[in-house]
Amino acid sequence: MHEVSLVHALFDQVDRAIAPHPSSAARLLTVRIGELAGVETELFRTAFAGCKAERGYHAAMLEIEPEAAEWRCAECGATFPTGAPLQCTRCSGFARLFAGGDIILLRVELEVVDV
């Protein structure tokens, strides 16, 4: 299940984000998951819940922002309705995925922990 691999990659990113703030703990991770990123959101949540303790992020919560897929013509910029063939009816150009193809860690919210 590649969602587990992706969750570990998420925590690697969080490790880097939190490194300049050694007196802080991660409380909320906001991740954007594109419709065509190849990630099943509920499996990602399950993997997150299962892995966070072993990575030392016991108290971290996950917030997911879904992003719909959006195709645009690479030549003229026209948008494509869902389910339409991906060749432009205006200029015969081919479509390019404009949005919804990635999984992105947007931000990490930290809480300063009293020493």
Partner 1 sequence: MCEVCGCGDAKKISVEVHASLLSDNDREARHLREHFVAAGVLALNVMGSPGSGKTALIEATAQALGGRLRLAAVSADLATSLDADRLARAGVPSAAITTGSACHLDATMVHHALHDGPLAAAVKGSDVFFLENVGNLVCPAIYDLGQAANVVVLSVTEGVDKPLKYPVMFRKADLVVLSKVDLLPYLQGVSVAAIRDNLMQVMPSAGFICLSATTGEGIQVFVDWLDALRIGRSRGVSAAERPEHSVVGPR
**Residues that bind partner 1 in the complex, under the rule CB under 8 A:** 1-2, 5-6, 9-10, 12-13, 17-18, 21, 24, 27, 31, 36-39, 71, 74, 83-87, 94-97, 101-112
Shorter beta-carbon distance to partner 1: residue 24 or 41: 24
Q: How far is the CB of 53 from partner 1 (least distance, A)?
A: 19
Signed CA dihedral, 11, 13, 19, 24: sign only: negative
Q: How far is the CB of 97 from partner 1 (least distance, A)?
A: 7
Q: How far is the CB of 90 from partner 1 (least distance, A)?
A: 15
Shorter beta-carbon distance to partner 1: residue 58 or 111: 111
Cα separation, 93 vs 77, in Å, equals: 9
